[in-house]
């Protein structure tokens, strides 16, 4: 079983409008609601790949109840969310059907008390003995210490469970010091972390700061991997047009599934890139176009070399 952690769980609401224009009223052509947050998106893709997945994090209030109900309807997912007094946040996406662009509005999330954080840590440590890998994903809700992910990384490592960290800013910086097995920043997050806008140099610096492996997401250019076994670049065969929301989460799912299946790095990276590109072609985060994925998987270009060390 794989465990995904979404400390700032959300109810994702998507409005589709014929054309988005500021300062005007709009008629919404379609509305959809579903459980969201980066870790839940990752879990949904992992389940679609055939893995058993447990999701944990926080849920509270009326929106939290809707998240629980939505997860109960998701095949392959086990709900282990921890209750909080505050209301789970909403994220609102407004999709412009004419341009294909999406405007995102993200609420901050509930204020988590010290007692609620302690209850979550107990629940998390109780789950670790039964899992094969952990993904720690997304932003921190108000009230949590900035080093929250660092503590969760250390707990996973103490339980000898591989842990992937996908966050940004100070939470990433603190988490890195706990030596996660994998981090997956995008180019901007990596530059903010290291001060370098050159991805190769930045991945090397991130490894020196504590990450065992660094997978840098380069957007349409694919992934750059700096691992103890070697360095690789993986790129889709062509630029894919569509909605990139959730593409990075699908890449995390590809990396985690490859880890638990013990695939070599080039195969893990090819899967991650193919899933990411296939997500751009799908209507919502946490989904991917399976036909496109199967076609892309064998066409991802992976170049690099194995380390002599």
- Which residues participate in catalysis according to the annotation? 249
Q: Taking the mean position of all CA atoms in its chain, how far away is CA 260? A: 17
C-beta atoms surrounding 86 within 10 Å: 20
Cα-only R_g, the chain: 19
Angle at CA of residue 222, ends 220 and 226, nearest 5°? 150
What is the C-alpha to C-alpha distance for residues 255 and 224, in angstroms, rounded to an integer?
Answer: 13
In the block, tokens 């503590």 appear at 151
Please report, for residues 28, 232, 265, 309, the alpha-carbon distance to residue 136 in angstroms, rounded to integers and kept in the order given: 34, 24, 20, 29
A 10 A CB-CB count for 264 gives: 13
């Amino acid at each position: 079983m794989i465990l995904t952690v979404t400390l700032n769980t959300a109810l994702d609401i998507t409005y589709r409008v014929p054309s988005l224009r500021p300062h005007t009223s709009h008629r919404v052509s379609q509305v959809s609601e579903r459980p969201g947050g980066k870790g839940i998106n990752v879990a949904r893709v992992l389940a679609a790949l055939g893995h058993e997945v447990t999701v944990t994090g926080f849920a509270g209030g009326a929106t939290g109840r809707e998240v629980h109900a939505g997860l109960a309807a998701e095949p392959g997912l086990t709900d282990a969310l921890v209750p909080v007094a505050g209301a789970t946040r909403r994220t609102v996406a407004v999709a412009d059907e004419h341009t294909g662009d999406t405007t995102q509005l993200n609420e901050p999330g509930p204020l988590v008390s010290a007692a609620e954080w302690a209850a979550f840590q107990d629940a998390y440590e109780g789950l670790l003995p039964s899992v094969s890998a952990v993904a720690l994903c997304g932003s921190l809700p108000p009230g949590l210490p900035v080093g929250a992910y660092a503590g969760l990384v250390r707990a996973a490592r103490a339980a000898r469970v591989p842990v992937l960290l996908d966050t940004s800013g100070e939470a990433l910086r603190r988490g890195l010091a706990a030596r996660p097995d994998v981090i997956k920043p995008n180019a901007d997050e990596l530059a903010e972390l290291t001060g370098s806008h050159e991805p190769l140099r930045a991945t090397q610096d991130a490894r020196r700061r504590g990450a065992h492996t660094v997978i840098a997401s380069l957007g349409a250019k694919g992934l750059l991997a700096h691992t103890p076994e070697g360095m690789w670049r993986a790129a889709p065969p062509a630029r894919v047009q569509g909605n990139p929301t959730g593409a990075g989460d699908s890449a995390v799912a590809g990396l985690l599934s490859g880890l638990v299946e013990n695939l070599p790095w080039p195969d893990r990276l090819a899967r991650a890139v193919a899933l990411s590109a296939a997500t751009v072609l799908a209507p919502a985060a946490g989904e991917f176009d399976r036909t496109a994925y199967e076609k892309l998987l064998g066409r991802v270009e992976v170049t690099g070399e194995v380390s002599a060390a």
